[in-house]
Amino acid sequence: MRLILLGPPGAGKGTQAQRLVQKYGIVQLSTGEMLRAAVAAQTPIGLQAKDIMASGSLVPDEMVISIISDRLDQPDMKNGFILDGFPRTVPQAEALDDLLKRKHIRLDAVVELRVNESALLNRVETRVAEMRARGEEVRVDDTPEVLSKRLASYRSLTEPLIHYYSERRKLLTVDGMMTIEHVTREINRILAAIGAVEPVIKKAA
Ligand code: AP5
Indicate if ipTM > 0.90: yes
End-to-end CA distance of the chain: 31
What are the domain boundaries of the chain? 2-193
Pocket test residue of 16, 30, 31, 34 for ligand 1, highest count of atoms within 8 A of CB: 31
88 lines ligand 1 (CB under 6 A): yes
Q: What is the mean pLDDT of residues 190-198?
A: 86
Portion of the chain with pLDDT greater than 70, in percent: 97
pLDDT of 201 over the 80 cut: no
CA of 142 to the centre of ligand 1 (A): 10
Instruction: List the catalytic residue out of 19, 123, 127, 170.
Output: 127
pLDDT digits (tens, 9 = 90+) for 15-53: 999 999 999 999 999 999 999 999 999 999 999 999 999
Q: Is 88 a catalytic residue?
A: yes
pLDDT tens figures, 71-129: 998 999 988 999 999 999 999 999 999 999 999 999 999 999 999 999 999 999 999 99
Q: Note if 13 is an active site residue.
A: yes
Cα–ligand 1 centroid distance for 120 (angstroms): 10
With a 6 A CB cut-off, is 12 part of the ligand 1 pocket? yes
CATH architecture of 2-193: 3-Layer(aba) Sandwich (3.40)
175 beta partners: 114
Alpha carbon 74 to its chain centroid, in Å, reads 19
Q: Give the pLDDT of residue 202.
A: 56
Supply the pLDDT for residue 196: 79
At 78 the pLDDT is 85
* Least confident segment among 1-5, 133-137, 198-202: 198-202
Are residues 149 and 51 in contact, defined by beta-carbon separation less than 8 angstroms? no
With a cut of 60, say whether residue 185 has pLDDT above it: yes
For ligand 1, atom 19, the nearest C-alpha belongs to 14
Provide the mean pLDDT of the chain: 94
pLDDT at 70 over 60: yes
**139 C-alpha to ligand 1 centroid (Å):** 11
Ligand 1 contact, 64 CB (< 6 A): yes
